[in-house]
Structure 1
Amino acid sequence: MITDEDRKILQKVADLLGSQYGNWVSPEVEDRQACKELHERGLLILQDGRFTYPHYRISLFGEAALAETKD
């Protein structure tokens, strides 16, 4: 379950990435670290499990948050 605090963190990451949920973005290195920390908490999932690709999509689906690398 995603808490209000988690939603605030996810929105902050989306804001840092210069995007709204669901859009493709090219985060800077420090933003990748924020994505990695959220991933470690189980809130973000990378499609291929790697953080080396520069493109992420952050979306909220009910109680699940996903970040996928762009194909």
Structure 2
Amino acid sequence: MVKKRFIAGAVCPSCNKQDTLRWWQENDVERVECVACEHTDVRAPQSVEQSEQLSTQTKQQVIGIFKPDE
């Protein structure tokens, strides 16, 4: 089960309500959701953000990175 945590003092960029955002990490991808208006945001891992081989548009579409068992 994924543990979701509220972000104290955070304001939703969509509805501007405070203390309604919750954060969790799923498959090395950070997710944020507003419980008031259901606005969602996804952040790719830093390794994807820092990659020079991917275009900006491609980076925005990444929802996760497959890491095979070593």
Q: Where on the TM-score scale, by shorter chain, does this alignment land: which range?
A: 0.3 to 0.5
Q: Which has the higher helix share?
A: 1
* TM-score of the superposed pair, with normalisation by structure 2: 0.33
Q: Which has the higher strand share?
A: 2
Identify which of structures 1 and 2 has the higher relative contact order when contacts are C-alpha pairs closer than 8 Å and 6+ apart.
1
Larger radius of gyration: 2
State TM-score, norm by structure 1.
0.33
